[in-house]
Amino acid sequence: MTTVTITNPTGGDAGTVELPAELFDVQTNVPLIHQVVVAQLAAARQGTHATKTRGDVRGGGRKPYRQKGTGRARQGSTRAPQFAGGGTVHGPQPRDYSQRTPKKMKAAALRGALSDRARHGRIHVLSSLVEGDAPSTKSAAGALAGLTERPNLLVVLDRADDLGLRSVRNLAEVHVLFVDQLNTYDVLCADDVVFTQAALDAFVSGAAKGATATTEEESK
């Protein structure tokens, strides 16, 4: 297991926490991560692009000139693809780009991405983002700056942490996710990943429940 220091909002030590090896110290499968990320980006596409074929373009119903005797190439419509204003051949049409990705693959890719960040010392844990009961963007920014100088941060919060969310959601270089939204792509895009202690506990317990459910399904 990897041991990480828990830092309080003022920069002091608040203890240590062990990162489970089955989540933060597994082999990174690069082809698997690539497949999962490509599928995630594909699912985000709207797929609403559309072009008009010669059957969709307005006009062109009448033959522009007679078949023979003009010396020109025969034409049946002024909306054929070779004409300006004509239809498009094999152009893009609305479609669904989403790919089916098994849950086990997504979970394995996430574990691999987190393990890579942990091996390079880029996983951090805060006891909380701010002290007290009032949100403070200034205090949250100071707490994050005390952890790392790298610009792009992914902050993972527990669903109940409304105070933390209101404190960091307006920081330009901070991307905020709830623990149940954590995904491979956002982990890879961030220079460092910052968990609050509550979010880390929720992530570890949720992963343990998922592993137990998977084992029970396989044993049936």
- The boundaries of the domain holding residue 75 are 48-96
Are residues 15 and 87 located together in one domain of the fold?
A: no
What's the confidence (pLDDT) of residue 131? Answer: 86
Name the residue among 116, 122, 184, 181 with its Cα closest to residue 151. 122
Are residues 203 and 128 located together in one domain of the fold?
A: yes
* Segment 136-155 mean pLDDT: 91
Q: How many CA atoms lie within 13 A of 154 on its CB side?
A: 23
Are residues 109 and 211 located together in one domain of the fold?
A: yes
Number of domains the chain is built from: 2
What's the confidence (pLDDT) of residue 218? Answer: 59
Are residues 88 and 149 located together in one domain of the fold?
A: no
pLDDT band at 9 (very low <50, low <70, confident <90, very high): confident
Residue 1 in tokens: 């297991």
pLDDT band at 167 (very low <50, low <70, confident <90, very high): very high
Are residues 26 and 70 located together in one domain of the fold?
A: no
Cα–Cα distance, 69 to 72 (Å, whole number) = 8
Cα–Cα distance, 216 to 162 (Å, whole number) = 35
Are residues 126 and 28 located together in one domain of the fold?
A: yes
Are residues 34 and 68 located together in one domain of the fold?
A: no
What pairing do the DSSP bridges indicate for beta strands 2-7 and 123-126?
parallel
Are residues 160 and 83 located together in one domain of the fold?
A: no
Domain containing residue 209: CATH number? 3.40.1370.10
* Segment 28-33 mean pLDDT: 96
Are residues 62 and 127 located together in one domain of the fold?
A: no
Are residues 118 and 55 located together in one domain of the fold?
A: no
Q: Convert the pLDDT of each residue in 110-130 to its tens digit.
A: 999 999 999 999 999 999 898
State how far Cα 116 lies from the chain centre.
17
CA-angle at 198, arms to 192 and 202, nearest 5°: 90
| 219: pLDDT strictly greater than 60 | no
Are residues 214 and 132 located together in one domain of the fold?
A: yes
| 212: pLDDT strictly greater than 60 | no
| 181: helix, strand or coil | helix
Domain boundary pick from 96, 115, 130: 96
